[in-house]
């Protein structure tokens, strides 16, 4: 331990920065990436940087009080497109790859996203959320001040989204814009959402995904389509029997790859993503990873980077015999090279979290965005031939030079029924052998996500405050096979609860520094649900903190943006066929048992787990007049408050958590000067 270093604090969130969305130039000699930070006004800023891979020189392309994202090189490498709200709404902008003033390309009233260059560099495809009946011809000019309607007539079931707010009749449509003239041509229409995939090498086709079922509110499958850019008949490649995304073309235009899973009638949300290919001549579909029991993609939960980073999907090798993909397993996400015959090679491995990559096989170069327990997010370069690794950025060097971090210890233990459960223990900063420390059990959301080897600011704060932090992946988590992931469905509060209690038992038995009389529990979303459930089952915890939680499955069914189908799959019940089962799995049923002091925190604009869930829990506890309870509401905040919400609200949330545990668990805060 370095006695000169200080401890991590909630306010340090303002200093943390990370790199994301790396994109190699067509020549393979430079990489553009996004650097995300919080400025002195406590607002997010995203700026574009270009690094020359030969000289190591890094140039900042954009600056100012802006959020510039999604950089993509023109095919000739002379220009970079990106998305920015610098003119008021999110539009496509162009900038010379060597720097200069950017030029606005689109002027769509509702804003745009995910622009992608055509192979000849003349066109860019983009998407836009549009109202029913609206056309791209209506969209010239910038958005004006929104007018609140006197009445809203809702006919769709999926009329709101935690990502986009109230959609009502809006759908995501695709269009082309000519790079030189700015002329816009619509590609899609109708009451369906469409998502951009990739251009065919000859530029004649776009591979896209969409749910164009007759009733997309009820049938949630997503298909892959080939859309002719010059107009004409679409080609549907899948059979409305699964959910697919990120279609990518082989270099010879003969095959398409995509990520997805089949729906078996029971599990749509709780099915592992796999790699698929389609032979475009025969139409034959093949699941390349059918015999590999892993989750394709990054499923790691953290709290510094916002979720949903752009991902390349499955990237073809030059010869079309294999694909590069991110894989999540046992708390790590790395990159594999998967051959079409099923053979696998681990390209980027280790105890870390890969959340994005870009590759140039001819140059034998791969650039990955990586986090680990001590790094929020930096870029690394890998030589595919020699396997050599080089760190390209160290964005938080100065900050980490002055703070002391806790290093997690990996653990594995047997649950009560013998199933193996994996996790980590974080000792308090300043830990001294022979002393006893309070412990906080942290529970992740999802439930189909994964704690792992990534940076977690909240855990570091608790460790700095003198707590041991225990975090595990109970059944329901990604990373341990499909059977493990599906094991919580229909059993919330059953074996998953026992997994969490087994984790606490293991920690108390194996780590002599844990003070069993001072235990706390915390979690958000599903983790909040389980926190509510735990304090209704046992009084062994001195304090609990529940974030954006669920307490009542019966009401959740009708108020969440995903409630009516999520409940059917995860609880395997709905209010009109089996309300008793929904009630049995609802923590609010157990409120009379709760004696643990409980802090409830919730965003007022949370559409995933609406705030009425917190209101029910708070009022019921308060009405009983039993356990101490406090309710913190965050105006304007959605479900992603702790990861991408307003920075000041994120810091306040962390401070409320610290204060609650300090009040009821009396930690002994170590002095780093001792």
Residues catalogued as catalytic? 525, 639
Query: CA of 446: how far to CAs of 251, 401, 514, 669, in Å?
Result: 36, 34, 28, 32
Neighbours of 226 (CB within 10 A): 21
Q: Is 47 left (phi over 0), alpha (psi -120 to 50) or beta?
A: beta
Residues 223, 216: Cα–Cα separation, whole Å: 12
Non-local CB neighbours of 129 within 8 Å, separated by 6+ positions: 110, 111, 164, 167, 170, 171, 172, 173
**In sequence order, what DSSP letters do the residues of 20-45 get, joined into one string?**
EEEEE-TTSSEEEEEEEEE-TTS-EE
Strand partners, 38: 44
The DSSP 8-state label assigned to residue 146 in this structure reads P
Residues 673, 429: Cα–Cα separation, whole Å: 12
Within 13 A of 532's CA, how many CA atoms are on the CB side? 32
Please check whether residue 96 is in contact with residue 76, taking contact to mean a CB–CB distance below 8 angstroms.
Answer: no
| 385-392: long-range contacts, CB 8 A cutoff, minimum separation 24 | 392/31, 392/51, 392/367
Peptide bond into 456 cis (omega under 30): no
Query: CA of 263: how far to CAs of 211, 220, 647, in Å?
Result: 14, 9, 38
The DSSP 8-state label assigned to residue 15 in this structure reads G
Residue in 210, 141, 223 with CA at minimum distance from that of residue 172 = 210
Residue in 5, 116, 643, 164 with CA at minimum distance from that of residue 377 = 643
User: What six digits make up the tokens of 546?
Assistant: 């529940």
Query: CA of 294: how far to CAs of 231, 241, 291, 316, in Å?
Result: 39, 20, 9, 19
Residue in 601, 581, 593 with CA at minimum distance from that of residue 494 = 581
Within 13 A of 368's CA, how many CA atoms are on the CB side? 25
Residues 367, 623: Cα–Cα separation, whole Å: 56
Q: Where are the beta strands (DSSP E) in 97-149?
A: 103-104, 113-117, 123-130
Please check whether residue 624 is in contact with residue 648, taking contact to mean a CB–CB distance below 8 angstroms.
Answer: no
Non-local CB neighbours of 272 within 8 Å, separated by 6+ positions: 261, 293, 294, 295, 296, 478, 482, 485
Residues 614, 548: Cα–Cα separation, whole Å: 7
The DSSP 8-state label assigned to residue 214 in this structure reads S
Identify the three-state secondary structure at position 609: coil
Identify the three-state secondary structure at position 124: strand
User: What six digits make up the tokens of 35?
Assistant: 């650097």
Q: Using only the alpha carbons of the chain, give its radius of gyration.
A: 25
Non-local CB neighbours of 546 within 8 Å, separated by 6+ positions: 522, 523, 524, 528, 531, 532, 598, 599, 600, 601, 614, 617
Residue in 274, 371, 367, 362 with CA at minimum distance from that of residue 318 = 362
């Amino acid at each position: 331990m370095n006695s000169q270093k200080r401890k991590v604090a909630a306010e340090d969130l303002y200093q943390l920065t990370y790199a994301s969305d790396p994109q190699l130039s067509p020549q393979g000699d430079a990489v553009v990436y996004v650097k995300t930070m919080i400025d002195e006004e406590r607002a997010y800023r995203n700026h574009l940087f270009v690094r020359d891979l030969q000289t190591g020189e890094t140039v900042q392309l954009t600056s100012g009080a802006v959020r510039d994202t999604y950089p993509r090189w023109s095919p000739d490498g002379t220009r970079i497109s990106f998305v920015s709200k610098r003119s008021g709404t999110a539009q496509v902008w162009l900038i010379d790859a060597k720097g200069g003033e950017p030029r606005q390309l689109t002027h769509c009233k509702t804003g745009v996203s995910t622009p992608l260059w055509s192979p000849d560099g003349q066109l860019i495809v983009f998407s836009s959320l549009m109202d029913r009946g609206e056309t791209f011809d209506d969209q010239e000019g910038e958005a004006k001040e929104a007018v609140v309607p006197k009445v809203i007539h809702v006919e769709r079931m999926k009329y709101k989204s935690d990502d986009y707010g109230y959609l009502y009749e809006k759908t995501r449509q695709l269009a082309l814009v000519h790079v030189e003239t700015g002329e816009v041509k619509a590609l899609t229409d109708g009451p369906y959402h469409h998502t951009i995939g990739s251009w065919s090498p000859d530029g004649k086709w776009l591979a896209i995904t969409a749910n164009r079922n007759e009733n997309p509110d009820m049938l949630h499958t997503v298909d892959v389509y080939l859309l002719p850019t010059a107009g004409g008949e679409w080609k549907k490649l899948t059979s409305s029997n699964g959910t697919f995304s990120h279609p990518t073309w082989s270099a010879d235009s003969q095959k398409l790859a995509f990520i997805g899973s089949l729906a078996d009638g029971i599990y749509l949300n709780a099915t592992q993503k796999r790699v698929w290919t389609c032979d475009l001549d025969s139409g034959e579909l093949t699941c390349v990873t059918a015999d590999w029991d892993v989750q394709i993609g990054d499923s790691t939960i953290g709290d510094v980077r916002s979720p949903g980073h752009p991902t390349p999907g499955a990237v073809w090798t030059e010869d079309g015999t294999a694909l590069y993909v991110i894989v999540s397993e046992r708390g790590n996400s790395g990159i594999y090279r998967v051959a079409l015959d099923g053979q696998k090679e681990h390209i980027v491995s280790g105890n870390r979290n890969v959340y994005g990559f870009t590759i140039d096989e001819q140059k034998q170069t791969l650039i990955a965005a990586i986090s680990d327990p001590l790094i929020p997010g930096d870029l690394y370069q890998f030589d595919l031939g020699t396997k050599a690794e080089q760190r390209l950025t160290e964005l938080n060097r100065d900050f980490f030079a002055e703070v002391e971090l806790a290093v997690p210890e990996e653990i594995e233990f047997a649950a009560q029924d013998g199933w193996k459960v994996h996790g980590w223990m974080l000792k308090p900063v300043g830990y001294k052998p022979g002393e006893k420390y309070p412990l906080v059990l942290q529970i992740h959301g999802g439930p189909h996500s994964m704690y792992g080897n990534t940076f977690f600011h909240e855990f570091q704060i608790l460790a700095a405050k003198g707590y041991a932090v225990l975090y595990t992946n109970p059944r329901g988590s990604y990373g341990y096979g499909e059977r493990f992931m599906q094991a919580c469905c229909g059993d919330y509060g059953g074996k998953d609860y026992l997994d969490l209690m087994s984790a606490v038992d293991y920690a108390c038995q194996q780590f002599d520094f844990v003070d069993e009389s001072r235990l706390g529990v915390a979690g958000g979303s599903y983790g909040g649900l389980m926190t509510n459930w735990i304090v209704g089952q046992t009084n062994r915890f001195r304090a609990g903190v529940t974030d954006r939680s669920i307490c009542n499955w019966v009401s959740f069914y009708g108020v969440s943006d995903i409630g009516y189908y999520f409940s059917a799959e995860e609880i395997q019940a709905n209010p009109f066929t089996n309300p008793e089962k929904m009630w049995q799995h609802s923590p609010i049923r157990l409120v009379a048992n709760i004696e643990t002091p409980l802090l409830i925190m919730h965003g007022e604009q949370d559409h995933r787990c609406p705030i009425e869930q917190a209101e029910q829990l708070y009022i019921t506890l308060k009405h009983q007049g039993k356990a101490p309870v406090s309710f913190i509401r965050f105006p304007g905040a959605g479900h992603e408050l702790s990861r991408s919400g307003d920075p000041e609200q994120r810091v306040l949330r962390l401070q409320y958590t610290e204060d609650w545990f300090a009040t009821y668990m009396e930690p002994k805060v170590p002095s780093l000067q001792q």
